[in-house]
Structure 1
């Protein structure tokens, strides 16, 4: 069988993570070399990996699919010049992993939710059979159905801020990424505490990586490698978490609808503005504060001052 070549592009942080993983997980006989213009080169069995200082990673050898699935499925912003896309979520799990994702960040009504799951290689086949993929590509009813299956299969942690608590936290932090990072850290830390076998966690990168790293260090007593990558929902474990977060958000949105007596919509567009005005007509700005994220522009469009004091 002829040799194959796969080419990826990674950032400096991902290159360090890749080298750490290779040094930890490759067999003792792996041959590490220094070559010009490269951070490292290593040969293990029939595979040679060269990571250049430019960020280009060249993988050469025979039958690379398994090796690529193991070490590159979560490479941040990886681009491939040849072969199967490295971030496809149907690539098999190689090691116990925690994946975390959020829902409700861009929705005016309802809670902000983060869900995390812990999965092992033994779970991969069943997750694939269920059709687990990024929840944004799945209809609401199917997301709810899949969430029940995933909850029965995987240990998980769901944390959320209802609108009232969200508004209080937003007023203190004034930055959605701070709030979101805290929720991711809480969910990941809870699972990592229960599962010592998990060596790393995968999160969709939504801003400066310190938004998750700092609260996670504060919440977790043991080391855990954190991989923050764009479009992390391509990874099977993160996709499972995204479905749980989506289902929990939908449940929270329904609860908010019941609380205010109006059919609340997802998103933050013109239809949401009309519903916001209806909520204000029913119960004024105090009711709106119980079901909506007030710092969104929809609040002003509903004729309400988002910064007004609503203390009883």
Structure 2
């Protein structure tokens, strides 16, 4: 059976809800604080697992209280196997600020994630097979990312790359990627273009498929033979952090399940939109029961 294999990062997320973002030199008091397991890799693995599809997740963490919390958060998740690469470093952390509209600003440490080597990738991904989907983000180094993609290519597995956080080296690996998922800002940063010209440039760089998320207005899927644009349902957003990871995890699970592209995109949009109505990153994700209820089709 196919798997979603996520090779990425894990962090402890500290989420501060503010009335408004501070100006330079200004101190503002938070009206609420939430701590939870996070990191783009962890979030995407957890999101994919909520569909009942087998998921394997590998990430580097330290030997500290943050690592203990992260391990505990995933310990009882059905269908999700984990491989922790322990480091003599502090576990990565993210500080997430939310304003009164639910928009976010995020700053993260990346020391554990950047300690992952090409040799780690080759060892941890040795069991990839042709039915698997490998999911990557921008948290690892170029060497580790290239090695991971190389392992997928040798196994005949497919590769989905999420271009967050944006890294300068990402253009170098675009030709090696089956599905590239970027938001509008990231697609512009990679190409210097906006909207459809940016998507066309990414396809010219060599990506087989390009998916662009557009926040509250939905998402688009483009390839040489496919052009799909779908809107997002209207919701009242309270916290947009984590929505992109819900989108990517859902999309990966749908692709591993061989769902038709329009349905896979619609489901990812629907569940990402649901996520913004709750606070937190991984804590905002729908449960398995909610995934079944909210999905626009049965899986």
TM-score computed with the length of structure 1 as normaliser: 0.28
Higher helix share: 1
Higher-Rg structure is 1
